[in-house]
Amino acid sequence: MEPVPTDTRGRRKAVCGESYDPATDKEAIPEAPPKSAELRENLLRIASENVVFMGLDDRQMKEVVDHLAERIVKAGEVIVKQGDPGDYFYIIDSGKFEVTVNGATVNSYDGKGSFGELALYYDQPRVATVTAATDGKMWQIDRAMFRRLVLRKAHELRQEYDELISSVPILESLSPNERLVLCDALIPRLYKNGDIIIKQGEAADGMYFLEQGEVTVTVKAKDGKEEQVSTLSRGSYFGELSLLSKQPRAATVIAKGSVRTAFLHVATFERLLGKCVDVMRRNIPHYEAQIIKIFGSKESVEGLR
């Protein structure tokens, strides 16, 4: 319903408005209202389709959806009024709603939809009036809670990534500012047991840092023989070989139990990790030695030339 900023999918979005410092906010966030798994999934789907939420990572989205509060409305009730200050975002669960601008109907909702999203980011007047045409139910969250959830989670994530980076030897040469930039560029990716994270022979789109859990690395020879070559745990990284060699993936990496990774896109790999590339290249002979020990020669494996 409202105009929205340019899509920033894949990047963490800054929240505008009043000053808020998550590092100094020690107050406990109120417990989230109880919701069924089906309701949470439906609310998550609706929220994720809104451009305003596309910059949030999975954990931020989960926090926001969990803290949506139920609101029962009656026919004729004005939910938001044109020109009034706005500080709530709404997701429609049931009921019909009419949208008017200067008294003229410009839109309507019937049992689904969302509105008021810009109120979460900007302190500006409502651009339209929304009135309940029938009794209904909605889910809402205010700007103050949204900011606390999103910014605090982003702050916690940055701290987690800084700790992770500290455990990766090849990143020791990064300056504090470079570490900060890398933290903000990393994208959380979660996997369950048996998920294939990268597959041998496929094009590379980035590299991964293993934050939690274990993964197994397997390699298939040209004759079809497949062998496990290693198991990786927290602080390890993988996927960099293809970025360095400009070749398809040389191995398959599979989640062993629940796994959480920090993904770095190929477009930012060399820009952020240029000074670490030489260290990564020095590790290639060790990897090739493992392949030769198992398969006899690296020429036997697709992707190693």
Residue ranges for the known binding site for 3',5'-cyclic AMP are: 117, 126, 240, 249
Q: Give 169-174's long-range contacts (Cβ < 8 A, gap of 24+).
A: 169/279, 170/237, 170/276, 170/279, 170/280, 170/283, 171/273, 171/276, 173/275, 173/276, 173/279, 174/275, 174/276
Going from the C-alpha of 2 to that of each of 101, 106, 127, 184, 251, the distances in angstroms are 12, 12, 7, 28, 46
Query: CA 193: distance to chain centroid?
Result: 20
- Are 121 and 3 in contact, with CB atoms under 8 Å apart? no
- Residue 249 identity: R
Strands 226-232 and 206-220: antiparallel
Specify binding-site residues.
117, 126, 240, 249
- Are 256 and 216 in contact, with CB atoms under 8 Å apart? yes
Radius of gyration over every alpha carbon of the chain, rounded to an integer in angstroms: 24
Taking the C-alpha atoms of residue 126 and residue 100, their distance in angstroms, rounded to an integer, is 11
Q: At which residue do the structure tokens 């198992």 appear? A: 294
- Are 241 and 282 in contact, with CB atoms under 8 Å apart? no
